[in-house]
Amino acid sequence: MRARYSAFAVGDLGYLLGTYHQSSRPEAFSLDASTEWIRLAVLETEDGGLFDSAGTVRFRAVYVRDSKRGVMDEKSRFVREDGRWTYVGPAD
């Protein structure tokens, strides 16, 4: 989760695409260069340990766009794919 946030913050599109699960990976996407990510708080995790194959992370990310502060709050679902954690999408 923190690595994906960092990739958003520095605009590393290649890394982000590589962290999507194959079932949800977009063919292409872009990042809004006017968005400045300024803080991440991991609020809750469920499963996702060493012997788990899936888990969720609830986080809050703070950003600034057009001089206005915004907050993204999501509970994300991750699964282990080929030994790496991959992002599936928002959890129910």
Mean pLDDT of 12-22: 95
Chain centre distance of CA 77: 9
42-89 tens-digit pLDDT: 999 999 999 999 999 999 999 999 999 999 999 999 999 999 999 999
pLDDT of 1 > 90? The answer is no
Give this prediction's pTM.
0.89
Q: Please report the domains of the chain, with CATH numbers, ordered by start residue.
A: 2-90 (3.10.450.50)
Token pair, residue 90, equals 């928002």
User: For residue 77, how many C-alpha atoms fall within 13 Å in the half-sphere facing its CB?
Assistant: 9
Give pLDDT, residue 92: 79
Give pLDDT, residue 37: 97
